[in-house]
Amino acid sequence: MSELYNTFHSHFDVVSADTVGLMETAFRMRYQVYCLERSYEDAESFPDQMEIDEFDMHSAHSLVRCQRSGQYAGLVRLVLPNPVDMDKPLPLEKFCHSAMQKAGIDLSSIPRDRMAEISRFSISKELKRQCAQKSAVSATGDVVDGVDTRMTPQIVLGLFAGVVRMSAQNNITHWLAVMEPTLLRFLSRYGIYFQKIGPVIDYHGRRQPTVASIDSVLSGIYAHRKDVWEVITDFGNVWPLDKEVKHFAMP
């Protein structure tokens, strides 16, 4: 059992937002990040201070909780296939349609009921600060007083663990995501690679559309950062390693 695994589980929990109360917590955190901290969405459009959109009717959410403070510091949404209309576009398909067409991107080979989109991948600066008042954790697993920025890698891995869990629960095999280039570079440090599709677009800032086979991503993590794989799959209990691709390595 790696130091990274022990450190993460000593300080954080990954929580499924599977109750009304936890869903409201997720929506309020989205309001905090997307409306107040980053101004991506108009705060006045959400008088109840819960940021909700059309995709939440068929989505799942996970939260990362700081054990010592009980504060939720990060959240992520997985937009699932619409059970009423499987052909309804996911957010990437809706907002990047023109760019994908120009780039000749075709996702038709992926079964619609097995494809979902990673969305609202968020860490609140304010809530992370509150969490850090109790304890801060560095990327190497040391407890460092007063350095809240060092909590970010742990929270990111927790969010990614939530994505893997939600995908397993919903029989998803492929991910779409529109990510900041800086986040993609950050993830690559931990052996997490996505395939870029099309050019960088202007959507809430510069964003890169991506796609990924979950088996391939997790096998790449196993090859490059087994300690990270242990955290996000719980030693393969959440998502067993595919023997056919376990030696896969992304460039």
Nearest to 189 by CA among 160, 167, 214, 166: 160
Strand partners, 202: 206
Confirm whether 241 is domain-assigned.
no
Strand partners, 206: 202
Residue 172 is part of a domain; what is its CATH number?
Answer: 3.40.630.30
Return all residues near 129 (Cβ < 8 A) that are at least 6 apart. 148
- Which tops the pLDDT comparison, 132 or 5? 5
Give residue-wise pLDDT tens across range 174-212: 999 999 999 999 999 999 999 998 888 887 778 999 999
Overall domain count for the chain: 1
Give residue-wise pLDDT tens across range 139-188: 444 333 333 456 788 999 999 999 999 999 999 999 999 999 999 999 99
Confirm whether 78 is domain-assigned.
yes
Confirm whether 244 is domain-assigned.
no
Categorize the per-residue pLDDT at 136 as very low, low, confident or very high, splitting at 50, 70 and 90. very low
For residue 12, the surrounding DSSP H or E stretch is strand 12-16
Q: Which domain holds residue 38?
A: 3-233
Confirm whether 251 is domain-assigned.
no
Residues 251, 244: Cα–Cα separation, whole Å: 18
Confirm whether 239 is domain-assigned.
no
